[in-house]
Amino acid sequence: MTFKEYLEQENLAIKTIKEHLQNIQNFKGWNKVEALDFNQLNYRELLGYVQNEKQRKLNHHTINIKLNTITKYYDYLINEGIREDNPAKKLRLKKDTRKVLLDQIKPEQLQHIYNVYKNKTNFREAKQKLVHQRNLIILGLMINQGAQIGELKRLEVNHIDFDKGEIYIPSTKRSNNRTLKLHTTQIIPLHTYILQIREKLNLTDDFLFTRNLVNIMGHLIQELRGMFEAIRSLQQIRASVIMNWIKHYNIREVQYFAGHKHISSTEKYRQQEVETLQKSLEKYHPMG
């Protein structure tokens, strides 16, 4: 029995069934990017999906509709004997939920992750090394500039200014363009990638990477999760970078660095930082 047939057995309206099927396709698309098996997703990984949807500025009502679809899908899998539990059964958002990050990765941890990945040497063939060098560039842009997949797809070779040590990140439907400083550890790998690696990877147009980054990002996050216990998702890396900026820059600067179109998006990170600090103070200096 297909999921569509399972829904039809519930005598749902045709429009409702179409919405459920579309929600599941979107859910599967997120799983593909994150290199996860959507049939075997656990509760912790499902929280990562919720976090991603919140970052897309979906309200709690819309996210709960999607969670309702996912709940039905896992009920379907249970019915088919594919799995025994439903991780979405009791997961619903309350109104005005403000959490934007579950497990923050500190700056020194992010830099350690970058350095360890950079020094990886166990490649079985030359193509693997080339792919690794490309992925190092992507990882560096995520860790140092908080770049997202939509922005990475639009990056062009001429967006890199080696003389000024800067990179121009183009806008997307959800983010503003900005010009950010490159970290010193990025300069040489970027230079080598542009002058040598791109040609060997058969990249002949003006774009820094191939336009189809979904599979590449999926393989990269899967590799990172295998190497580093702290890594859970692509969104976790970006959220960590923004949270780290919040501690050192004013809110408008962070809005610019992150490419947020609305200051309210940045405010969520600052509010969480305040709440985290407050909980820490309450833990070590309880009142009453």
**For 32-63, how does the pLDDT look when each residue is reduced to its tens digit (9 = 90+)?**
999 998 888 888 888 888 888 887 878 888 99
| Sequence-distant (≥ 6) Cβ neighbours of residue 60 within 8 angstroms | 93, 94, 95, 96, 97
Q: How many other CB atoms are found less than 10 A from the CB of residue 164?
A: 10
**Which pLDDT belongs to residue 267?**
86
Half-sphere exposure of 271 (CA within 13 A, CB side): 11
- How many Å apart are CA 189 and CA 192, to the nearest integer? 5
The closest of 140, 135, 122 to 241, measured between CA atoms, is 140
SS3 per-residue string spanning 144-204: HHCCCHHHHHHCEHHHEECCCCEEEECCCCCECCEEEECCHHHHHHHHHHHHHHHHHCCCC
What is the pLDDT at residue 104? 83
Give the chain's residues under pLDDT 70.
95-102, 272-288
The confidence score (pLDDT) of residue 97 equals 45
Task: Residue 12: count other Cβ atoms within 10 Å of its Cβ.
Answer: 14
User: Contact at 8 Å (CB) between 155 and 209?
Assistant: yes
- Dihedral sign of CA atoms 34, 40, 45, 47 in order: positive
Question: Rounded to an integer, what distance in angstroms lies between the CA atom of residue 122 and that of residue 55?
Answer: 36
Exposed/middle/buried for residue 246 (C-beta within 10 Å: 0-12, 13-18, 19+): buried
Count CA atoms within 13 Å of residue 199 on its CB side.
Answer: 5
User: What three-state secondary structure class fits 37?
Assistant: coil
Q: Give Cα separations from 39 to 24, 80, 236 (angstroms).
A: 11, 12, 22
Return the pLDDT at 211: 78
pTM for this entry: 0.67
Alpha-helix residue ranges (DSSP H) falling in the chain = 3-9, 14-33, 43-55, 60-79, 107-118, 126-145, 149-154, 184-192, 198-200, 214-227, 234-246, 251-258, 263-284
CA–CA separation, 39 and 266 (whole Å): 33
Output the pLDDT for position 101: 55
